Structure 1
């Protein structure tokens, strides 16, 4: 079973438009309201593909109650923790060429007592979990080392932890030696201070995260695919890519990627798990809003994965330039 923790869940409204023009009155082609938050999306993707998962979610206000209603309708197994503040709402505007504009609210602060209640809920449920996924932004006022603290507590209990966050929270978590971190290209750049213009740059940045404590790194590179680094001592690496003929929304694609990797056996499964991760992520990009892909949406035949020769500076895939999109 895979347990997910989302400290800053959301209601996600996605509006599809023909084009986005500032200051204009724009008619929406379609609109979708979905449960949101990175851990929530991981659990939704796993549920959609028959993989056991449970989501721990703090919620509050009318938006929070609506979030819980939507997840209940989907049949998601969850542990809800009521809080005094109101759950945030996010808006995504998607254009036909795949361009996505996101407006995310900061979320509501959690009191120390509320944060303790959430942590207790996670710890009580974690005894039956193979993985705990701690992901997403932190609400205002929550200590940046909260994921690091959870990593230390779960590791002591022999539970594998995957972390998907950014900024100081990611840096703090890396030092706590999580089993897996999943940055995107921008988060890699932020965490390492290195410009990333090629697959080789991304690999070097990911290797530096391993040197700082992360045991495995899954780095999503947007339209350029993803890399996976694993192994103790001498790392192994894989690079993978899959085309998306008709991109509709990138919202939740990274969460689908993480869910696919864990469903595919986790970092220990190497290239096979990366292939599954890419198949789930590209399927999500082809869906509207933050819908998670069903088994029928996933096309594994389009995925290309190969192992990288990390010590070979002339490895052709390491020299492959990345496009401007992250």
Structure 2
């Protein structure tokens, strides 16, 4: 079973427009509503592929009830932690060319007791058959930038692998502590953490390994670095793989990175997995996600693994903008 932890969940409302005109009245062609938040998106994708999962998240206010009911309708097992505040509602505008404009609300402020209740919910499931814990998304006010460090410590102390997908201060705090199994930044988030622009394959690989050196809690085993339309790089201490597919015209990119991580973990749940196969699956899932509206997750019938090319030890001198199949 894979446990996802989403400290700042949302109800995601997406509107399709022919063309977004700033400052004008825009008429939506279609509207979509999804249970959202990075970890929740991952659990939603898992359920469609028969991967056992439980989603842990705080829930409060009318949108908290709506979020929980949406997940129940999608047969996602949940562990909602009641809070006094109201969870956020995010808005996405997608035009006919696939250009996405996203407005994310800040979310509630959690009390100290609510923060501890969220961590206690994680502890409860760690006593079961858990192969991975995934910490994903931004953090609400009140939990502290080291929240994911504490979740990672709880997981690894039980011998459970921990994957992290976040950015900014929470990413910096977790990277400085180290001791995680997997991090999943994109190249911009990685560059922001390092304080420099990463423009070549070698710069991304070297930057990932610099972060993977970790800190007092140990090294980080693996980095899955998203490159947008150019695919992704999978980096370990000694090996690198790049994977991508032919160009696509996206319908929506919202949640595609979360689905990419879900695809990777669906294979990596096996301790003896082939890293190249996990990367191929990750890219196939992510590619399928961008062809769907809103933050919808693809099912097995929509995944095309054969369209994905995997290259071991790609040329470090290659500029990222020249990566293509």
TM-score normalised over the length of structure 1? 0.93
Partners of 1:93 and 1:142 in 2: how far apart? 30
| Unpaired stretches in structure 1, ≥5 consecutive residues | 310-314
Matching residue within 210, 234, 238 for 2:212: 210
Q: 1:229-244 alignment to 2 at 5 Å?
A: 229-230=235-236, 234-244=237-247
RMSD: 1.6
Q: Which residue of 2 aligns with 1:312?
A: none
Q: Deviations over 1:246-285 (max 9, x none)?
A: 3111111111011000102259521110000000001001
Does the 8 Å CA contact 2:243/2:308 hold for their aligned counterparts?
yes
Matched, 1:301 2:306: yes
Q: Partner of 1:70 in structure 2?
A: 70
Cα displacement string for residues 102-134 of structure 1 (whole angstroms, at most 9, x for unaligned residues): 000000011110011111111110232100001
Are 1:90 and 1:103, in contact at CA under 8 Å, matched by a contact in 2?
yes
Kept after mapping to 2: 8 A contact 1:4/1:42: yes
**Using the alignment, how far apart are the partners of 1:79 and 1:215 within structure 2?**
28
Partner of 1:164: 165
Displacement over 4 Å in runs of 4+: none
- Cα gap change, 1:87 to 1:117, in 2 (>3 Å): same
Is 1:271 the equivalent of 2:276? yes
SS at match of 1:245: coil
**Helix, strand or coil for the counterpart of 1:178?**
coil
Give, in angstroms, the shift of residue 185 of structure 1: 2.0
- Indicate if the aligned counterparts of 1:136 and 1:164 stay in contact, CA closer than 8 A: yes
For residue 318 of structure 1, report the CA deviation from its aligned partner: 4.2
Report the 3-state secondary structure (helix = DSSP H, G, I; strand = E; otherwise coil) of the residue aligned with 2:65: helix
User: In 2, Cα distance between the equivalents of 1:157 and 1:237?
Assistant: 29
Match of 1:251 among 248, 251, 254: 254
| Aligned length, in residue pairs | 315
Q: Which residue of the partner structure matches residue 147 of structure 1? A: 148
Q: 8 Å contact 1:181–1:217 — kept in the other structure?
A: yes
C-alpha separation in 2, matches of 1:142 and 1:106: 13
1:81: how far off?
A: 1.0
3-state SS of the aligned residue for 2:320? coil
- The CA distance in 2 between the partners of 1:66 and 1:163, in whole Å, is 26
Aligned position for 1:84: 84
Provide the residue aligned with 2:21 in structure 1. Answer: 21
